[in-house]
Amino acid sequence: MALLEIENLVVEFETASGPFRAVNGVSMKVHEGEVLAIVGESGSGKSVSMLAAMGLLPWTAKVTADKLTFNGRDLLGMPANERRKIIGKDIAMIFQEPVASLNPCFTVGFQIEEVLRVHMGLDKAARRKRAIELFQAVGIPDPAERLNSYPHQMSGGQCQRVMIAIAIACNPKLLIADEPTTALDVTIQKQILDLLMKLQADHGMGLIMITHNMGVVAETADRVVVQYKGRKMEEADVLTLFANPKSNYTRALLAALPDNATGDRLPTISELFVDDQVEGAAR
């Protein structure tokens, strides 16, 4: 059975100029131990589809799906309090902006211990011990002292490690990483990707890696969903996608990789891709 199964997900926002469809009939599955990349340029509905699956969108979003299940359980139909027990515990998400996702008013130690208290019911001593273990696991030096730091006292890379530690604190079965390296320096990006892949392999988690970067896809994914303007353009295992991309949009994404581009300036996706086949795209 798939961990997360999504069929025909539609997300519409109520806006001043009428309803706006950010996700338009997306379907995908993620299995235990599998890395699924969702790739597509900014605005293609990658974050919104995952936030919808997690039930984390604001009330202005109308979410419908033919199927939205975690481990066979219907997420849309279950009561909110049931869903809250799953989200943050069995499904965890790392958000795009590490510094903004942490609360500036509390120490990072408090923030990770809070998750351990709420979801795992650990007492004070056990929480602290586990928090130190987790900081060690994500490569934060001097973990015991670091627990007393506030987010602004740490670098972006360190904050991202804290976010990852919080996300894996309750041993999630599925981890959703939303552009986990985009906000970081290039030198730190590789370290964070390597860390995520190591944790995924060690714990056999399902991992959804959201990215706009085909290089990240190549380094991490087993399977890839290509999304554009709220629709799934293509889905394939990673080798097939790179060797034999079916849609023009995927080809355009691949051509924008530095290795494949010729000349001094990288072509933009819109230069490479003529938006002629979105309506006919396979779902």
Token readout for 18 is 């009428």
User: Which residues make up the interface to Mg ion (CB under 5 A)?
Assistant: 47
The answer to whether residue 15 forms part of the interface with ligand ADP (CB under 6 A) is: yes
Of 46 and 161, the one with the shorter C-beta distance to ligand ADP is 46
Cβ 204 to Mg ion, closest distance in Å?
26
Which listed option, Mg ion, ligand ADP, none, makes contact with residue 148 (CB within 5 to 8 Å by class)?
Answer: none
CA distances to 182, 184, 195, 213, 238 from 259, in Å: 19, 21, 25, 13, 17
Region from 12-20, 141-149, 153-161, 239-247 binding ligand ADP, contact rule CB under 6 A: 12-20
Q: In Å, how far from its chain's centre is CA 6?
A: 15
> CB-wise, 47 or 69, nearer to Mg ion?
47
d(C-alpha 261, C-alpha 194), whole Å = 26
Q: How far apart, in whole angstroms, are the C-alpha atoms of residue 202 and residue 216?
A: 20
CB 23 to ligand ADP: min, Å = 7
Q: Name beta bridge partners: 36.
A: 208, 223
* C-alpha span between 102 and 107 (Å, rounded): 9
Query: For Mg ion, which residue has the nearest CB?
Result: 47
63 or 154: whose CB is closer to ligand ADP? 63
* Separation CA 221–CA 196 (nearest Å): 12
Q: Which is nearer to ligand ADP, 11 or 137 (CB)?
A: 11
User: Closest distance between Mg ion and the C-beta of residue 122, in Å?
Assistant: 32
When binding is defined by CB under 6 A, the residue of 1, 16, 17, 58 that contacts ligand ADP is 58
168 interacts with ligand ADP by CB under 6 A: no
Tokens of 246: 């079916």
Q: How far apart are CA 106 and CA 53, in angstroms?
A: 28
- Residue 42 near ligand ADP by CB under 6 A: yes
Interaction site with ligand ADP (CB under 6 A) = 13, 15, 20, 22, 40, 42-48, 58, 60
